[in-house]
Amino acid sequence: MKRNYKQILPEISSLLLDVDGVLTDGHVYFTEDGKARRKLFTKDSFAIQLAIKNGLRIGIITGGSASGLVEAFKALGMVDIYVNASDKLDAFQDFVSIYELNPKTIAYMGDDLPDYSVMQRVGLAACPADASPYIRERVNYISPQNGGAGAVRDFIEQWLRVKGFLDKPGDWTW
């Protein structure tokens, strides 16, 4: 029997995120000189910093280059950033190995088929509201928010609530 995400959240110590469609809205904009640009949702960024401050290890696994975003992720406190990960499972296994983690203590939020191999191995699989139907049918949790519009914030706030960190407003600083 599939466990409800609320039963699993207390066991989660790490969160891995896809980029396009999860941290961004999935749109890629190109400048006149051909550089790709994406936008991050400020409320997702704040939640990431707050969660890291409270002990949640957060990393990125993306098949894309995430050009221009790697430095932004580092500025948020992320250390584990896998870009150009043509096989996301390889990056996931590297992450597990480095920290000697039990995969059941890891959550993963993705939105499309390349994310599924990792989602099958983690303790909690999540996706934004606008994820592909195939993914939505197979995760523990579907955020009511779209990718790039608060899905990450929604998930992190639930983790912070379960861990009791939302009861400490004095700690809600950048």
Residue 172 in domain: no
Residue 174 in domain: no
Residue 6 in domain: no
How far from each other are the two terminal CA atoms of the chain, in whole angstroms?
40
Q: What is the dihedral of CA 174, 55, 40, 66, to 10 degrees?
A: 130
Cα 101 → chain centroid: 17
Residue 73 in domain: yes
CA separation, residue 20 to residues 72, 77, 103 (Å):
15, 19, 23
Please report, in tens digits, the pLDDT of each residue of the chain (174 residues total): 467 899 999 999 999 999 999 999 988 888 898 887 788 888 999 999 999 999 999 999 998 887 778 898 999 999 999 999 989 999 999 999 999 999 999 999 999 999 999 999 999 999 999 999 999 999 999 999 999 999 999 999 999 999 988 776 665 555
Look up the CATH number of the domain holding residue 118. Answer: 3.40.50.1000
Q: Which two tokens stand for residue 152?
A: 């990450």
Residue 3 in domain: no
Backbone angles phi, psi at 155, to 5 degrees: -65, -45
CA separation, residue 39 to residues 34, 68, 99 (Å):
16, 10, 30
Residue 64 in domain: yes
Tokens 């390349």 correspond to: 114
What is the total count of domains within the chain?
1
Q: Are strands 106-109 and 124-127 parallel, antiparallel or unpaired?
A: parallel
Helix (H) or strand (E) holding 58: strand 57-61
pTM: 0.92
Residue 18 in domain: yes
Residue 117 in domain: yes
Euclidean distance between CA atoms 39 and 149, whole angstroms: 10
Euclidean distance between CA atoms 167 and 144, whole angstroms: 23
Q: Which two tokens stand for residue 8?
A: 């699993």
- Domain limits for position 128: 13-163
